[in-house]
Amino acid sequence: MLNYKAEKSIEALRRLVAPRAKVVRDGLVQEIASRDVVRGDIVLIEEGDEVPADARLIESKDLAIDESSLTGESESVKKEAKVLEEDIPLVERRNLLFMSTVAVRGNGKAVVVGTGMNTEVGKIAEEIRETKERPTSFQLELNALGKKITYGVIGIIAFILLVQFLIGAADFATIFLTAIALAVASIPEGLPAVVTIALALGTKRMVKRNSLVKKLPVVESLGSVDTICTDKQDFD
Protein backbone atom coordinates (compact mmCIF):
# COMPACT_ATOMS: atom_id res chain seq x y z
CA MET A 1 0.00 0.00 0.00
CA LEU A 2 2.83 2.39 0.87
CA ASN A 3 4.57 1.57 -2.42
CA TYR A 4 1.32 2.29 -4.28
CA LYS A 5 0.85 5.64 -2.51
CA ALA A 6 4.46 6.63 -3.21
CA GLU A 7 4.16 5.81 -6.91
CA LYS A 8 0.87 7.72 -7.17
CA SER A 9 2.35 10.75 -5.40
CA ILE A 10 5.38 10.78 -7.69
CA GLU A 11 3.15 10.40 -10.76
CA ALA A 12 1.01 13.33 -9.56
CA LEU A 13 4.13 15.48 -9.19
CA ARG A 14 5.21 14.57 -12.71
CA ARG A 15 1.83 15.59 -14.12
CA LEU A 16 1.94 18.83 -12.13
CA VAL A 17 5.28 19.86 -13.60
CA ALA A 18 4.77 18.33 -17.06
CA PRO A 19 7.02 20.39 -19.39
CA ARG A 20 5.62 22.22 -22.39
CA ALA A 21 7.26 23.54 -25.54
CA LYS A 22 6.66 26.28 -28.09
CA VAL A 23 6.81 25.05 -31.69
CA VAL A 24 6.21 26.56 -35.10
CA ARG A 25 3.71 24.54 -37.15
CA ASP A 26 2.02 25.75 -40.32
CA GLY A 27 3.57 29.15 -39.73
CA LEU A 28 1.92 29.52 -36.31
CA VAL A 29 3.49 29.41 -32.86
CA GLN A 30 1.82 26.72 -30.76
CA GLU A 31 2.39 25.62 -27.17
CA ILE A 32 2.21 21.84 -26.79
CA ALA A 33 3.31 19.17 -24.32
CA SER A 34 6.99 18.39 -24.73
CA ARG A 35 6.17 14.71 -25.27
CA ASP A 36 4.23 15.68 -28.43
CA VAL A 37 7.25 17.29 -30.11
CA VAL A 38 8.32 15.35 -33.21
CA ARG A 39 11.37 15.30 -35.43
CA GLY A 40 11.35 18.22 -37.86
CA ASP A 41 9.46 20.57 -35.54
CA ILE A 42 10.91 24.04 -35.09
CA VAL A 43 11.07 24.84 -31.37
CA LEU A 44 11.43 28.25 -29.76
CA ILE A 45 13.70 28.37 -26.73
CA GLU A 46 13.65 31.25 -24.24
CA GLU A 47 15.26 31.88 -20.88
CA GLY A 48 13.95 29.38 -18.32
CA ASP A 49 12.67 26.88 -20.92
CA GLU A 50 13.57 23.20 -20.79
CA VAL A 51 14.74 21.86 -24.13
CA PRO A 52 12.08 19.30 -25.19
CA ALA A 53 14.28 17.28 -27.59
CA ASP A 54 17.68 17.19 -29.24
CA ALA A 55 17.72 20.02 -31.78
CA ARG A 56 20.01 21.87 -34.20
CA LEU A 57 20.13 25.63 -33.73
CA ILE A 58 19.15 27.74 -36.72
CA GLU A 59 18.93 31.07 -34.86
CA SER A 60 20.34 32.22 -31.53
CA LYS A 61 20.69 35.41 -29.55
CA ASP A 62 23.03 35.34 -26.54
CA LEU A 63 21.76 31.83 -25.78
CA ALA A 64 23.31 29.95 -22.85
CA ILE A 65 22.25 26.47 -21.73
CA ASP A 66 22.63 24.67 -18.41
CA GLU A 67 23.77 21.16 -19.40
CA SER A 68 24.50 19.91 -15.88
CA SER A 69 21.79 17.25 -16.16
CA LEU A 70 23.69 15.75 -19.11
CA THR A 71 27.38 16.47 -18.51
CA GLY A 72 27.52 17.18 -14.76
CA GLU A 73 29.17 20.56 -15.36
CA SER A 74 27.54 23.44 -13.48
CA GLU A 75 28.74 26.23 -15.80
CA SER A 76 26.34 27.22 -18.55
CA VAL A 77 27.34 26.64 -22.19
CA LYS A 78 27.02 29.37 -24.81
CA LYS A 79 25.23 28.17 -27.94
CA GLU A 80 25.62 29.51 -31.48
CA ALA A 81 23.84 28.72 -34.74
CA LYS A 82 26.90 28.16 -36.88
CA VAL A 83 28.47 25.31 -38.83
CA LEU A 84 31.10 23.34 -36.90
CA GLU A 85 33.80 20.89 -37.90
CA GLU A 86 32.73 17.24 -38.10
CA ASP A 87 35.42 15.92 -35.72
CA ILE A 88 34.08 17.84 -32.71
CA PRO A 89 32.62 15.51 -30.03
CA LEU A 90 28.84 15.50 -30.00
CA VAL A 91 28.37 16.91 -26.48
CA GLU A 92 30.79 19.75 -27.28
CA ARG A 93 28.92 20.94 -30.35
CA ARG A 94 27.82 24.49 -29.63
CA ASN A 95 25.12 24.40 -32.31
CA LEU A 96 23.19 21.53 -30.71
CA LEU A 97 20.62 21.63 -27.93
CA PHE A 98 20.04 18.54 -25.84
CA MET A 99 16.83 17.26 -24.29
CA SER A 100 16.27 18.05 -20.57
CA THR A 101 18.82 20.88 -20.53
CA VAL A 102 17.63 24.38 -19.56
CA ALA A 103 18.10 27.80 -21.13
CA VAL A 104 19.54 30.22 -18.56
CA ARG A 105 20.00 33.22 -20.84
CA GLY A 106 18.96 34.51 -24.24
CA ASN A 107 16.74 32.82 -26.80
CA GLY A 108 16.94 30.76 -29.95
CA LYS A 109 15.19 28.73 -32.62
CA ALA A 110 16.09 25.14 -33.45
CA VAL A 111 14.90 22.23 -35.58
CA VAL A 112 14.31 18.95 -33.76
CA VAL A 113 16.63 16.11 -34.82
CA GLY A 114 15.85 13.54 -32.13
CA THR A 115 13.11 12.78 -29.61
CA GLY A 116 12.50 10.32 -26.79
CA MET A 117 14.96 7.43 -26.69
CA ASN A 118 16.71 8.80 -29.81
CA THR A 119 18.19 11.68 -27.80
CA GLU A 120 21.45 11.74 -25.84
CA VAL A 121 19.51 11.60 -22.57
CA GLY A 122 17.42 8.76 -23.99
CA LYS A 123 20.54 6.78 -24.84
CA ILE A 124 21.80 7.19 -21.29
CA ALA A 125 18.41 6.09 -19.94
CA GLU A 126 18.50 3.03 -22.21
CA GLU A 127 21.93 2.04 -20.90
CA ILE A 128 20.68 2.39 -17.32
CA ARG A 129 17.57 0.35 -18.12
CA GLU A 130 19.67 -2.46 -19.56
CA THR A 131 21.90 -2.54 -16.50
CA LYS A 132 20.94 -5.42 -14.24
CA GLU A 133 19.73 -4.35 -10.83
CA ARG A 134 21.99 -5.66 -8.09
CA PRO A 135 20.46 -6.93 -4.84
CA THR A 136 20.73 -4.62 -1.84
CA SER A 137 22.89 -5.48 1.17
CA PHE A 138 19.70 -6.29 3.08
CA GLN A 139 18.57 -8.76 0.40
CA LEU A 140 22.01 -10.37 0.39
CA GLU A 141 21.86 -10.80 4.16
CA LEU A 142 18.39 -12.35 3.93
CA ASN A 143 19.58 -14.73 1.23
CA ALA A 144 22.56 -15.71 3.37
CA LEU A 145 20.27 -16.28 6.36
CA GLY A 146 17.97 -18.44 4.24
CA LYS A 147 20.89 -20.58 3.08
CA LYS A 148 22.13 -21.03 6.65
CA ILE A 149 18.66 -22.10 7.79
CA THR A 150 18.37 -24.50 4.85
CA TYR A 151 21.75 -26.12 5.47
CA GLY A 152 21.07 -26.37 9.20
CA VAL A 153 17.67 -27.98 8.65
CA ILE A 154 19.07 -30.46 6.13
CA GLY A 155 21.81 -31.44 8.56
CA ILE A 156 19.41 -31.90 11.49
CA ILE A 157 16.92 -33.90 9.41
CA ALA A 158 19.68 -36.11 8.01
CA PHE A 159 21.01 -36.76 11.51
CA ILE A 160 17.57 -37.62 12.94
CA LEU A 161 16.70 -39.89 10.02
CA LEU A 162 20.05 -41.64 10.20
CA VAL A 163 19.64 -42.31 13.92
CA GLN A 164 16.09 -43.61 13.45
CA PHE A 165 17.20 -45.83 10.58
CA LEU A 166 20.17 -47.28 12.47
CA ILE A 167 18.24 -48.08 15.63
CA GLY A 168 15.25 -49.31 13.65
CA ALA A 169 12.85 -47.02 15.51
CA ALA A 170 10.42 -46.91 12.57
CA ASP A 171 9.85 -48.22 9.08
CA PHE A 172 10.91 -46.33 5.94
CA ALA A 173 7.46 -44.76 5.33
CA THR A 174 7.34 -43.32 8.85
CA ILE A 175 10.88 -42.00 8.55
CA PHE A 176 10.04 -40.35 5.20
CA LEU A 177 6.91 -38.67 6.63
CA THR A 178 8.93 -37.47 9.62
CA ALA A 179 11.47 -35.87 7.26
CA ILE A 180 8.73 -34.04 5.37
CA ALA A 181 7.13 -32.83 8.61
CA LEU A 182 10.46 -31.52 9.93
CA ALA A 183 11.20 -29.76 6.64
CA VAL A 184 7.81 -28.02 6.60
CA ALA A 185 8.02 -27.07 10.29
CA SER A 186 11.46 -25.50 9.81
CA ILE A 187 10.32 -23.04 7.13
CA PRO A 188 10.27 -19.50 8.67
CA GLU A 189 6.87 -18.56 7.24
CA GLY A 190 6.61 -15.43 9.33
CA LEU A 191 9.98 -13.99 8.26
CA PRO A 192 8.78 -12.32 5.00
CA ALA A 193 5.85 -10.72 6.82
CA VAL A 194 8.08 -9.45 9.64
CA VAL A 195 10.59 -8.01 7.16
CA THR A 196 7.85 -6.31 5.11
CA ILE A 197 6.26 -4.78 8.21
CA ALA A 198 9.62 -3.50 9.46
CA LEU A 199 10.43 -1.89 6.10
CA ALA A 200 6.90 -0.45 5.83
CA LEU A 201 7.27 1.19 9.24
CA GLY A 202 10.57 2.71 8.11
CA THR A 203 8.93 4.00 4.94
CA LYS A 204 6.07 5.49 6.95
CA ARG A 205 8.53 7.39 9.13
CA MET A 206 10.27 8.75 6.04
CA VAL A 207 6.93 9.87 4.56
CA LYS A 208 6.37 11.95 7.69
CA ARG A 209 9.69 13.64 6.88
CA ASN A 210 8.51 14.39 3.32
CA SER A 211 10.55 11.59 1.69
CA LEU A 212 8.91 9.22 -0.81
CA VAL A 213 10.40 5.74 -1.18
CA LYS A 214 9.29 3.65 -4.19
CA LYS A 215 10.94 0.37 -3.14
CA LEU A 216 10.85 -0.96 0.41
CA PRO A 217 14.35 -2.58 0.42
CA VAL A 218 15.83 0.87 -0.29
CA VAL A 219 14.87 1.93 3.24
CA GLU A 220 17.40 -0.45 4.77
CA SER A 221 20.01 0.45 2.15
CA LEU A 222 19.71 4.14 3.05
CA GLY A 223 20.37 3.22 6.66
CA SER A 224 23.65 1.59 5.60
CA VAL A 225 24.94 4.65 3.70
CA ASP A 226 28.18 6.10 5.07
CA THR A 227 29.16 8.46 2.25
CA ILE A 228 27.15 10.25 -0.45
CA CYS A 229 29.02 11.00 -3.70
CA THR A 230 27.45 13.75 -5.78
CA ASP A 231 28.36 16.46 -8.26
CA LYS A 232 29.23 19.89 -6.95
CA GLN A 233 26.15 21.53 -8.46
CA ASP A 234 23.90 19.50 -6.13
CA PHE A 235 24.94 21.66 -3.18
CA ASP A 236 24.02 25.27 -2.48
- Number of Cβ within 10 Å of residue 224's Cβ equals 9
Q: CA 214 from chain center: how many Å?
A: 10
Tell whether 1 is covered by a domain: no
Using N-to-C axis directions, what is the helix angle for 137-167 and 172-185, rounded to 10°? 160
Distances (CA, A) of 51 to 71, 121, 174: 15, 11, 73
C-alpha gyration radius of the chain: 29
- Active-site residue, from 62, 171, 231, 234: 231
Do 150 and 164 share a structural domain? Answer: yes
Do 90 and 26 share a structural domain? Answer: yes
Q: What is the pLDDT of residue 200?
A: 76
Do 102 and 34 share a structural domain? Answer: yes
Tell whether 183 is covered by a domain: yes
pTM (predicted TM-score): 0.56
Tell whether 157 is covered by a domain: yes
State which H helix or E strand residue 139 sits in: helix 137-167
Do 174 and 93 share a structural domain? Answer: no
**In a structure prediction context, what are the per-residue pLDDT tens digits for the chain, which is 236 residues long?**
555 555 655 565 555 557 889 999 988 999 998 888 999 999 999 998 999 999 999 999 999 999 888 887 778 889 998 888 777 777 778 899 999 899 999 999 999 999 988 888 888 888 777 767 777 777 788 788 888 888 888 888 788 778 777 777 667 777 778 777 877 777 777 777 777 777 777 777 777 877 777 666 676 677 677 787 766 655 44
Looking at the 3D structure of the chain, how many domains does it have? Answer: 3
Q: What is the pLDDT of residue 113?
A: 93
Do 109 and 25 share a structural domain? Answer: yes
212, with CB counted inside 10 A (0-12, 13-18, 19+), is middle
Reply yes or no on whether 171 is catalytic.
Answer: no
Q: What is the pLDDT of residue 68?
A: 84
- Number of Cβ within 10 Å of residue 122's Cβ equals 17
What is the rounded CA–CA span in Å between residue 10 and residue 62?
36
Please enumerate in sequence order all residues whose Cβ is within 8 A of that of 46, keeping only pairs 6 or more positions apart, or say none: 22, 103, 107
Do 109 and 22 share a structural domain? Answer: yes
Do 145 and 34 share a structural domain? Answer: no
Asked if 38 contacts 115 with a C-beta cutoff of 8 angstroms, the reply is: yes
CATH number at residue 96: 2.70.150.10
Tell whether 97 is covered by a domain: yes
Do 197 and 142 share a structural domain? Answer: no
102, with CB counted inside 10 A (0-12, 13-18, 19+), is middle
Residue at 126: amino acid letter: E
Do 81 and 119 share a structural domain? Answer: yes
Do 24 and 103 share a structural domain? Answer: yes
Asked if 79 contacts 93 with a C-beta cutoff of 8 angstroms, the reply is: no
The whole domain housing 154 covers: 132-188
Do 17 and 121 share a structural domain? Answer: yes
What is the rounded CA–CA span in Å between residue 169 and residue 107?
90
Do 125 and 35 share a structural domain? Answer: yes
